[in-house]
Amino acid sequence: MPNSELDRAALGERLKEAREYLELSQDEVAKKIGLPRTAISLIESGQRRVDAIELQKLAELYQRPVSYFTGEVVSAQLPDDVEHLARAAKKLSQRDRQELSRFAEFLNSRAATRGKNV
């Protein structure tokens, strides 16, 4: 299998995993980005190329950077659980994000205090 076909298959697999992680159906994704459901199926199976605009729409919908899907190595890769928290926090209001930040500071200070008392 030529490299371009392998790359397309890997891209399709990453897109499928991201869709399933968010518990979205192919039909829901297709409607949200304006493609037929069959196009989503073909993209995920590596049988159809995805253009840059489609990939950007999918990345936005899946709340991941385009580089995640293309397999680019990003030097400051966050652990999966931290990325999950960031995606969840992104959906919160500004006020709720500030409260979440204060809670994180509290947890950090509590952990520091525990470390001193050990």
For the chain, give the mean pLDDT: 87
Domain 3-70 classified CATH 3.10.20.340?
no
Is pLDDT of 24 > 70? yes
Please tell me the pTM assigned to this model: 0.61
Please report, rounded to a whole number, the percentage of residues in the chain having pLDDT higher than 70. 90
Which residue has better confidence, 76 or 24?
A: 24
Shortest CA distance to 69 belongs to which of 81, 84, 52, 82? Answer: 52
Domain-wise residue ranges, the chain? 3-70, 80-117
80-90 pLDDT, tens per residue? 888 888 888 88
> Would you state the pLDDT for residue 86?
82
27-43 pLDDT, tens per residue? 999 999 999 999 999 99
Q: Are 2 and 57 in contact (CB under 8 A)?
A: no
